[in-house]
Amino acid sequence: MRSGIIAKKLGMTRIYTEEGAAVPVTVLKVDNVHVVGHKTAEKHGYTAVQLGSATPKIKRLTKADRGVFAAAKVEPKRKLQEFRVSVDGLMPVGAEVTADHFVAGQFVDVTGTSKGKGFQGGIKRWNFGGLRATHGVSVSHRSIGSTGNRQDPGKVFKNKKMPGHMGSETVTTQNIVVVRTDKERGLILVKGSVPGSMGGWVSVRDAVKRKLPDAAPKPGAFTAAQAQG
């Protein structure tokens, strides 16, 4: 099992195939992603790699965080995330993971935080039908109707679909096709949409429901570790 990668959603565009067909794609930016640390079964009970991406303001780092990055000999990172891997999927600490970690035609799972919608009613949040337009209904056309029961049990059950906060949830879209990668510019183009807003962080992993292509690099695509300033 290979590691995933941290990326930033830049937005959507389209590219054209040789036949002239338009393909909608989401552009993901791999921004200076380095391996910051390892988790081992002997010490932590599981095997994982910790990746970091982007550069934060140094004044916002604690002394403990600075020590972690100094030990890994990488520059401080703004975004950190762990990825479970097999033992043979560990990449060396300090290595920079590149966009060609994935290959064109490969299926991936993309996880992000969905757009926040605030407080919404039952029609928008749960796709309720609403009440009738006429025949005695006035003012409350978009209400959700009855939420309770008769005298027995005489209560509203937990998890009843009702108006409330919508969005800002962790969402995973599975089996998205990688259309193209650009190692030099650090770009990954995937077909269709992915969760989240422009500028939001997403994690991209090998699809769990599809076979990994033979061309995919193992344990991953990375450059040799270098000491960072």
Q: Residue 207 has which token pair?
A: 């699809």
**Is the Cβ–Cβ distance between 56 and 184 less than 8 Å?**
no
CB atoms within 10 A of CB 77: 25
Percent of the chain's residues with pLDDT above 90: 62
pLDDT in tens, 140-180: 999 999 888 888 888 999 999 999 999 999 999 999 999 99
Tell me the HSE value of 82 on the side-chain side, using a 13 A CA sphere.
Answer: 11
Task: Write out the E strands in 118-184.
Answer: 118-120, 164-166, 170-182
Whole-number Å distance between alpha carbons of 225 and 227: 7
Whole-number Å distance between alpha carbons of 36 and 167: 31
What is the overall mean pLDDT for the chain? 90
pLDDT in tens, 89-146: 888 888 889 999 999 999 999 999 999 999 999 999 999 999 999 999 999 999 999 8
Q: Which domains does the chain have, with CATH numbers?
A: 5-117+165-223 (2.40.30.10)
Residue 225: the pLDDT is 66
Q: Is residue 229 pLDDT above 60, yes or no?
A: no
Residue 227: the pLDDT is 44
Start-to-end CA distance of the chain, whole Å, equals 32
Give the residue among 171, 53, 174, 173 at the shortest CA–CA distance from 113: 171
pLDDT in tens, 4-39: 999 999 999 999 988 999 999 999 999 889 998 888
